[in-house]
């Protein structure tokens, strides 16, 4: 199967090193590292498996799919805490966004893919007042391995 509606996200396929920085849960100037593997599930969906080194955020799995008649994607997310979420996602012209708006807790992600596809600079923001005010959560840098 070749899900052509996912052609824009093909650039994510592969193994990535992650560096997490500027997080309130880290000491000033501290960083954490981990990995992300992006691979196809039967050519129909893109699966992101992320794990951070000891003491970091829990391992997670995201499944990316898309309704071929729409421009945006849906991301089904679950992690080792038992958290399960659905994000709306876009990926176009090297800009990757994700967001969710649940009562009392909103999140948004913005990533920029380097022109050569080797690096993604990203950050997460959060809001506890239904999106009226936003605060920085943490930064991520993904570097392609191999």
CATH number for the domain that contains residue 128: 2.40.128.20
pLDDT for the residue 24? 86
Position 146 confidence tier, pLDDT thresholds 50, 70, 90: confident
* Residue 76 burial by Cβ neighbours in a 10 Å radius (0-12, 13-18, 19+): middle
Mean pLDDT (whole number) for 94-121 = 97
The tally of domains found in the chain comes to 1
Model confidence over 47-92: pLDDT tens digits? 999 999 987 789 999 999 999 888 899 999 999 999 999 999 999 9
In SS3 terms, 13-73 reads as CEEEEEEEECCCCCCCCCEEEEEEEEEEECCCEEEEEEEECCCCCCCEEEEEECCCCCCCE
Position 4 confidence tier, pLDDT thresholds 50, 70, 90: confident
Residues 97, 36, 131: CA angle, nearest 5 degrees: 30
* Residue 75 burial by Cβ neighbours in a 10 Å radius (0-12, 13-18, 19+): buried
Mean pLDDT (whole number) for 130-145 = 97
Residue range(s) defining the domain that contains residue 15: 4-144
Mean pLDDT (whole number) for 5-24 = 95
* Residue 46 burial by Cβ neighbours in a 10 Å radius (0-12, 13-18, 19+): buried
Return the structure tokens found at 24. Answer: 């309130």
Dist. CA 42–CA 40, nearest whole Å: 6
Residues 102/88, Cβ–Cβ less than 8 Å: no
DSSP 8-state assignment for residue 81: T
Position 138 confidence tier, pLDDT thresholds 50, 70, 90: very high
Average pLDDT, the chain: 95
pTM attached to this predicted model: 0.94
């Amino acid at each position: 199967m070749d899900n052509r509606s996912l052609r824009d996200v093909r650039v994510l396929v592969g193994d990535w090193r992650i560096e997490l920085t500027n997080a309130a849960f880290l000491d000033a100037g501290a960083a954490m590292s981990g990995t992300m593997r992006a691979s196809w599930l039967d050519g129909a969906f893109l699966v992101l498996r992320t794990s951070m080194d000891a003491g970091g955020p829990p391992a997670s799995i995201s499944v990316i799919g898309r309704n071929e008649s729409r421009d945006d994607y849906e991301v089904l997310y679950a992690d080792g805490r038992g958290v399960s979420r659905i994000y709306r996602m876009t990926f176009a012209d090297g800009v990757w966004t994700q967001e969710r708006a649940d009562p009392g807790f909103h999140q948004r992600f913005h990533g920029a893919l380097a022109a050569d596809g080797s690096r993604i600079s990203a950050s997460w923001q959060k809001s506890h007042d239904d999106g009226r005010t936003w605060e920085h959560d943490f930064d991520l840098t993904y570097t392609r391995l191999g």
